[in-house]
Amino acid sequence: MLETAQTEPHHSERGPVICRACENPDARVFLELGEVPTNSMVLLDTREQAISYPKGRLTLAFCDSCGFIFNPDFDPALVDYSQSYESSQAFSPRFNEFAARLAKSLADEYDLAGKTVVEIGCGGGDFLQQVELQGIGKGIGVDPAADPGKRVEDATTSLSFIREFFSEEHGALNPDFLCCRHTLEHIPDPAQFVRTVRRSLGESSSVPVFFEVPDTLRVLKEAAFWDVYYEHCSYFTPESMAALFEQEGFTDIRTELDFDDQYLLLHCMPVQAGERDEGDREYVRQLADEVEAFSEKYRRHIDGWSKFIGEAADAGKRVVVWGGGSKGVAFVNSVPGGDRVDFIVDINPAKQEKFAAGTGHRIAGPDALRSAVPDVVLVMNPIYEDEIADTLRSMNIHAEVRSV
């Protein structure tokens, strides 16, 4: 067997798998990426620890009944969110600006002044603090990894945190608004989870519900392989996400894209007893075509970057990756020859002088570029390209800046 066979995607000969959104038994595997680090966010203290980090199988399956895309090989036991987990993007001005704007628009639309807001999967509570600034009465974060220690200094005391997984019993918190951002994509049984949220609200509830996840249609169209990683086991498009919420007892569903169309936002209301809608499923056919094209585009994309990095390195150029989040780590791990990237730059001090799981790349602050001047800077998120180019100019570094 060829040594590269593990990482090469290919058409699967595996039989059908059960859809975890609608229980259709005929979902089909369309991509097998082999073994990848089970946590692309985790940063290790030594290169040795990073290289020997546990791996799990990253496989993608598509349900041609509801459009859901998921990893049927996902094993939640392999994901450890407690250890050195750093998911906060709160260090980016661009992301903060988005969160602040979103908090304001939600507060305006749902008239949240003086109300109780519950956030599921609140992490360090960054977003809840943004909502708090809108004058809500009470904010409660429910998250087993809630870390209120990270609160900003000027926050008031109207926030509280419950370090538990969200359950039906948390309905007793009596929210006036319930939100959940960047969590559903980590849950292997999203139908069960959305059902729990619905049940927590009770039969006659009129509590608005808001969910946000990465948009997968963009990932498929752009063959954004760095947005497919182990911790994300559930992948949604606007239509498949709406279908799931409809199936589990929500109505008045509205979806929109934001953050340069990278994020998918869903607003909905609980269905009152007796009511039901059933949307049409025509979108699934179009999605099936996108899924078909994805594998081919994936191959081309990954080959293109492999060639680019290889040629630059052969010419004696120093290539660095800017962005030590999951995208940067997925990139160096997925692209053959990704180990020829010199190191990874990140502005978040919590990530600096750590090592990326899998390849073991060192993550350094921008200051490291003064002594190890790069020829090429690969930007992991095009949205930050201007911000990064400005920083390089201010450091008098004239590298080629390319967005991946």
Which residues contact Zn ion (rule: CB under 5 A)?
A: 19, 21-22, 24, 63, 65-66, 68
CB nearer to Zn ion: pick between 68 and 226: 68
CB nearer to Zn ion: pick between 49 and 65: 65
CB nearer to Zn ion: pick between 190 and 208: 190
CB nearer to Zn ion: pick between 278 and 314: 278
Instruction: List, in order, residues 6 or more apart from 73 with CB less than 8 Å away.
Output: 56, 57, 58, 59
Helix axes 190-200, 238-247, angle to 10 degrees: 50
- C-alpha 305/C-alpha 364 separation (Å) is 22
* Residue 211 burial class via C-beta count within 10 angstroms: exposed 0-12, middle 13-18, buried 19 and up: buried
Name the minimum Å distance from CB 63 to Zn ion.
Answer: 3
249 SS3 class: coil
**CA angle, residues 120, 121, 124, in degrees to nearest 5:** 125
CB nearer to Zn ion: pick between 68 and 322: 68
- C-alpha 212/C-alpha 255 separation (Å) is 10
Written as one letter, the residue type at 356 is A
Name the minimum Å distance from CB 240 to Zn ion.
Answer: 8
Name the minimum Å distance from CB 288 to Zn ion.
Answer: 12
Name the minimum Å distance from CB 266 to Zn ion.
Answer: 17
Tell me, letter by letter, the H, E, C secondary structure of 152-179: CCCCCCCEEEECCCCCHHHHHHCCCEEE
Name the minimum Å distance from CB 64 to Zn ion.
Answer: 8
Residues 70, 61 contacting (CB under 8 angstroms) = yes
CB nearer to Zn ion: pick between 24 and 96: 24
CB nearer to Zn ion: pick between 22 and 383: 22
Name the minimum Å distance from CB 373 to Zn ion.
Answer: 51
Structure-token pair, residue 360? 């073991």
Name the minimum Å distance from CB 198 to Zn ion.
Answer: 18
- C-alpha 263/C-alpha 181 separation (Å) is 10
For the sheet with 234-235, list strands across it.
Answer: 28-37, 55-62, 69-70, 234-235
CB nearer to Zn ion: pick between 287 and 332: 287
Written as one letter, the residue type at 328 is G
Backbone angles phi, psi at 57, to 5 degrees: -80, 125
Name the minimum Å distance from CB 24 to Zn ion.
Answer: 4
